[in-house]
Structure 1
Amino acid sequence: MALPFTNSPQQRLPQGNSSFLIQESTLDDWKRIVDLSADTQRWAMAYDDFPVWKKAFGEQNAELLVAKKPDGQVIGFVSIAKFGPDIAAVGNYYVHPAYRGQGIGMQLFDKVTQTSLAEGRNLSLNAAFLLSKKYADNGFDKYPDWGLRAHVVTGANGAEIATLVHNSKIVSLKAVEFDQIATYDRSVAANVDRSEWLEAWINHPTGRCKIALDTTNHVIGYGVVREVSQNRLVFGPLYANDQGTAAALIKVILEEVDDYPSREIHFLSPSTNEEMNELTAMLSRPRGTYEHRGDDGICQFTKKVLKVDVRKVYAVADVALCFI
């Protein structure tokens, strides 16, 4: 992400850490972040996420900060993105294991959230359960009644999920007016206008997107898969009116990835969507594997829980900078 986020002056860290700086990220910093977080935490990010966020949010509505040593070594980072006048999403919050417990993370977090808090925004983040109470103690104390569950498939085969497909029609982006997709997205995402993010995300350089239409050519779902670190594929978002439509989107999208059976395929889904358990099990058969990793996390808010249409969410969107 070589383009500028909101300007962030360099800030020296307290507690004796005078050799560290907090500053605006460069694209090279981000590439290091992607590799570092994949190696130490198995996070699934892409180098091209950076320019996509830049295009989606612009200089005034997104910020990505890094903590660096004087030699340029990246040891922590965090980001925030604003959706309209009321909502902001915090994500990518990470400190290298060797540098935790030194106040670096708190400085990053305070720095990236201070403007949005002063503006009175409702802040959200997707928290790992192990850290959920810590975030709640710092004001992120509003929760939905569902968590986030990770699904991982290897050796995928689309033959069995094809049996779930009904009369939905799966088409390319060019076949649908963008406003139709944006309207559907709003119907899922608590009526929040995410059109600028949406347009950038569905055209992600490492992504593939398809739209589902009913017999009257109304949008009834859309899905994006993107290639991320360590040769993995991540679905997000995958929104659909029903399981058959979700299955159709998965099948058609994966057919555009020649080597998808040899890759790990990831979904992060609301824990209340039991249909994803069935879909991922079917996708793994006859010779692959699937794993449901329990409730991995939860979306937390500072002011109120957004009432998203969770029934249509088979995979959340950009887990780093989205609330659903």
Structure 2
Amino acid sequence: MACVDTPDYQIRTMTRGEVDIAIDWAAAEGWNPGLHDADCFYAADPDGFLIGLLNGEPIAVISVVKYGEHFGFLGFYIVKPEYRGQGYGLQIWNAGLAYLDGQTIGLDGVVAQQGNYRKSGFSLANGNLRYQGVGGAAPVADSALVPLSALPFADLCAYDQALFPERRSTFLRHWIDQPESTALGILQEHRLAGYAVLRKCRDGYKIGPLFADSPELAERLFLALRARVPAGRALFLDTPANNAAAVALAQRHGMSMVFETARMYRGPVPQIDGQRIFGVTSFELG
């Protein structure tokens, strides 16, 4: 990726170690990243993470991950508070958009910033709602549930591709194998009919994605993963606001909405079946 250099301010691709800076800043913003997100995210596109340095000091970050030739996702757009409003964020934003030039770009932005994103050509597709509850439920016995590691990886990729704008096999391999996580699939008539991943976060645990062919299958996956969360620990699920069954699932299990984002796209809105998406994978990488 091309660098942007001025006498004092440099924008360049992050090293793997510098991705930890973005994760820490995201945690400070209250976004509650997963403990092992950095390795998974970096594997998706090592060139898709930018850092802005002012006289050598990191002051701005952004991720612009390419999933293929046609789709990329923008996240981790953060400027250190004391440097905001001085143009540094806009410079790294423009550098990120240049990297994804020619692709449809998605983002999950703070609702209050929708107007600014529209100025860069983004349009609102739907809201995403973060729900918070607690774990500690009794274990679930369900013979249709299987570890994703026991299934052909090609089957998982094929299922996921119908519910994500671009094939993301490299990311998925790392996502389902990360430490301190549980990845389950659910079978129906001997075929994969849904899957979900639970991972440990700075605060509690998150389920994401939660994809399923029906609300009933989604609930079975949700219950199985909630049972893996230690009693009393926080559990989070990011639901698309336009999937009423997903919202109802979270509310039915005593979860409360604590955060909201605006899913926006620049370019054609991807044609995916949103009614099978009960939990998005992450707000940072889509």
TM > 0.5 fold call: yes
Alignment of 1:195 with 2:169, yes or no, is yes
Q: Deviations over 1:112-140 (max 9, x none)?
A: 221321xx211221122111111111111
CA offset digits 1:91-115 (Å, max 9, x no partner): 1111122211011111111112213
Q: Please give the root-mean-square deviation of Cα atoms over the aligned residues, in Å.
A: 2.4
Partner Cα separation in structure 1 for residue 220 and residue 197 of structure 2: 13
Identical counterparts, % of pairs: 22
Distance in 1 (CA, whole Å) between partners of 2:245 and 2:31 is 25
> 2:5 is matched with which residue?
11
Contact 1:46 1:228 in 2 (8 A): yes
- Kept in 1, the 8 Å contact 2:181–2:197? The answer is yes
- 1:269 corresponds to which letter in structure 2? T
CA positional deviation for 1:211: 0.6
Q: Which residue of 2 aligns with 1:45?
A: 33
Gaps of 5+ in 2: none
Gaps of 5+ in 1: 1-6, 13-17, 285-289
Indicate the structure with greater strand content: 2
Structure-2 separation of matches of 1:293 and 1:255: 22
Bigger Cα displacement from structure 2, 23-32 vs 181-190: 23-32
Kindly provide the amino acid, as one letter, of the partner of residue 237 in structure 1: P
Q: Structure 2 matches for 1:115-194, cutoff 5 A?
A: 115-117=99-101, 120-141=102-123, 143-144=124-125, 146-154=126-134, 156-158=135-137, 169-190=144-165, 192-194=166-168
Q: Are residues 1:31 and 2:32 paired?
A: no
Q: Is the 8 A contact 2:25 2:78 kept in 1?
A: no
Cα distance in structure 2, aligned partners of 1:53 and 1:172: 22
Q: Confirm whether residue 223 of structure 1 aligns to residue 196 of structure 2.
A: yes
Deviation digits for residues 5-50 of structure 1 (CA, Å, limit 9, x no counterpart): xx553623xxxxx5443233234433233223222x2012235322
> Which of 257, 266, 273 is residue 309 of structure 1 equivalent to?
273
Kept in 1: contact 2:241–2:247 (CA 8 A): no
Q: Match for residue 78 of structure 1?
A: 62
Q: TM-score, normalised by structure 1?
A: 0.80
SS of alignment partner, residue 199 of structure 2: strand
Displacement of 1:180 in angstroms is 1.2
1:130-174 CA-partner distances (Å, limit 9, x unpaired): 111111111113x32x311111113x3435x96xx9x77110123
Task: Give the whole-Å Cα distance in 2 for the aligned partners of 1:87 and 1:277.
Answer: 27
Runs of 4+ in 1 over 6 A off after TM superposition: none
Q: Which moved more, 1:100-109 or 1:19-28?
A: 19-28
Match of 2:249 in 1: 279
Measure, in 2, the Cα distance between the counterparts of 1:244 and 1:253: 15
* Cα drift, residue 275 of structure 1: 2.6
The answer to whether the Cα contact below 8 Å between 1:276 and 1:314 also exists between their aligned partners in 2 is yes
